[in-house]
């Protein structure tokens, strides 16, 4: 059994999206009525491409290139602002990702926040989340983020061992990560999250635990542990790196056991939270979210949309140019319209893979049917000790400790044959793309 089939961070995957005709944001804007929604901003710029990354990002872009992007971002924001006036949208959460958002200069970041404040309405107690990397984190930018109301900073550390960082193709050294973490902690953000990777070539269980022990010295609020995936289009693929899933799973078990012994609570396969933070159930619903920027995904009811998925630098730059020259950002040309059955699958994935799990009555109220009847595989999970019925009121179906650790094995079992077929079709069509003059192979 391979514990690491696929990371289910979103369903369906972008490779299942296809061209759409006759679809506009105006037809779906009613899903953003009222409050409680999310707004996502994608800033696809990086100093360098990490060896494991196949996300939408570009490197080698100067300030002028970023300025052009921000001009397009403002035009898109103004067009969305006009549509949202009819539904009085108020966003509860603002997330800024990439790329490396702090690749932007302080002035460019200030410009971006000014556009957001001018174009959109936010709740008084909003969450503002931003990603950063050690090399791009400095005191001036952090002060500006604090003034802009940022509540959560997520930093990709990955390891405190330079040899492991080099193996991943990271551009920073451990010393830079330590310095950046000190700056972030001293700034007093409400939540500081650190990311680490296991399954790195040359990494041992002991070196992974050393990194986690050092991380605890900085007293972060959350720690995310990610298994190394070598994805199509990523640099490590060209180097012939093949992750050892069995060894990675051993490292995961030791790491999760260590963090829990130190008083941390596990909320998902990847997320560990300081016990001082109380867990509260919050229905994920259908995750209504509007996105700004090239490569960003929006989720409005059964409509998911974004620009076509791109992995090569040539493709990413082409998508970027298309975005910057778009006249009507409200016209939706690429995405997917989910059937009722696909919405059920997405609902399960969004709830079951995190704690406290799936509230069974809520599922039945939403869809008018039983989750276990709709998906007999759930009964198999229960019989295999991957999931269990919680003795609570209301009743929850939750993954066991074993099930949490196998989320990337269990989650893909909920992907429909139709979505698998669409994903494979995309993979076959892109099996021999060329990046940096090197042949790619799935």
The structural domains of the chain, ordered by start, are 14-274 (3.20.20.70), 340-405 (1.10.10)
The two three-digit tokens of residue 418, written as one number? 């139709």
Give the 3-state secondary structure of residue 123. strand
Rounded to 10 deg, the angle between the 174-187 and 139-147 helix axes is 30
Q: What does DSSP assign to residue 435?
A: E
d(CA 323, CA 336): 19
Give the pTM: 0.94
8 Å CB contact between 37 and 328: no
8 Å CB contact between 97 and 55: no
The two three-digit tokens of residue 299, written as one number? 């989720």
d(CA 245, CA 422): 26
Give the 3-state secondary structure of residue 104. coil
> For each of the chain's 442 residues, which pLDDT tens digit applies?
899 999 998 899 999 999 999 999 999 999 999 999 999 999 999 999 999 998 899 999 999 999 999 999 999 999 999 999 999 999 999 999 999 999 999 999 999 999 999 999 999 999 999 999 999 999 999 999 999 999 999 999 999 999 999 999 999 999 999 999 999 999 999 999 999 999 999 999 999 999 999 999 999 999 999 999 998 888 898 899 999 999 999 999 999 999 999 999 999 999 999 976 565 545 444 579 999 999 999 999 999 999 999 988 999 999 999 999 999 999 999 999 999 999 999 999 999 999 999 999 999 999 999 999 999 999 999 999 999 999 887 899 999 999 999 999 999 999 999 999 999 999 999 876 533 333 232 2
The two three-digit tokens of residue 139, written as one number? 């005191």
Rounded to 10 deg, the angle between the 205-217 and 245-261 helix axes is 30
Q: What does DSSP assign to residue 309?
A: P
Per-residue pLDDT, 432: 65
Q: Where are the alpha helices (DSSP H) in 30-105?
A: 63-84
């Amino acid at each position: 059994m391979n514990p690491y089939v696929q990371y289910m961070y979103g369903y369906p995957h972008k490779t299942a999206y296809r061209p759409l005709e006759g679809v506009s944001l105006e037809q779906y804007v009613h899903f953003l009525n009222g409050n409680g929604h999310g707004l996502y901003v994608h800033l696809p710029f990086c100093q360098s491409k990490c060896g494991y990354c196949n996300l939408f990002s570009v490197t080698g872009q100067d300030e002028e290139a970023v300025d052009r992007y921000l001009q397009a971002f403002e035009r898109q924001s103004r067009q969305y602002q006009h549509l949202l006036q009819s539904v009085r949208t108020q966003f509860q959460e603002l997330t800024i990702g990439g790329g490396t958002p702090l690749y932007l200069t302080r002035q460019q970041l200030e410009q971006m926040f000014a556009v957001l404040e001018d174009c959109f309405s936010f709740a008084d107690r909003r969450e503002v989340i931003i990603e950063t990397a050690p090399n791009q984190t400095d005191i001036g930018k952090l002060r500006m983020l604090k003034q802009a109301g940022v509540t959560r900073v997520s930093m990709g550390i990955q390891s405190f061992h330079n040899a492991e960082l080099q193996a991943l193709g990271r551009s920073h050294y451990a010393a830079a990560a330590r310095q950046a973490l000190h700056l972030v902690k001293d700034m007093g953000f409400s939540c500081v999250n650190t990311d680490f990777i296991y399954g790195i070539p040359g990494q041992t269980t002991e070196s992974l635990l050393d990194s986690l022990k050092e991380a605890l010295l900085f007293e972060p609020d959350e720690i995310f542990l990610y298994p190394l995936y070598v994805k199509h289009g990523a640099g490590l693929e060209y180097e012939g790196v093949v992750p050892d899933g069995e060894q990675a799973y051993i490292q995961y078990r030791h790491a999760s056991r260590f963090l829990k012994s130190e008083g941390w609570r596990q909320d998902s396969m990847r997320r560990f939270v300081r016990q001082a933070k109380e867990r509260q159930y919050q229905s994920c619903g259908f995750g209504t979210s509007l996105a700004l920027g090239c490569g960003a995904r929006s989720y409005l009811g059964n409509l998911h949309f974004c620009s076509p998925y791109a992995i090569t630098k040539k493709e990413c730059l082409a998508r970027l140019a298309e975005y910057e020259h778009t006249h009507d950002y409200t016209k939706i040309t690429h995405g997917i319209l989910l059937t009722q059955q696909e919405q059920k699958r997405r609902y399960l994935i969004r709830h079951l893979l995190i704690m406290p799990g799936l509230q069974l009555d809520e599922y039945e109220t939403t869809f008018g049917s039983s989750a276990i009847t709709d998906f007999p595989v759930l009964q198999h999970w229960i019989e295999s000790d991957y999931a269990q019925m919680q003795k609570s009121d209301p009743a929850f179906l939750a993954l066991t400790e074993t099930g949490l650790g196998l989320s990337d094995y269990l989650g893909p079992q909920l992907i429909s044959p139709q979505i698998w077929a669409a994903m494979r079709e995309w993979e076959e069509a892109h099996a021999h793309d060329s990046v940096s003059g090197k042949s790619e192979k799935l």
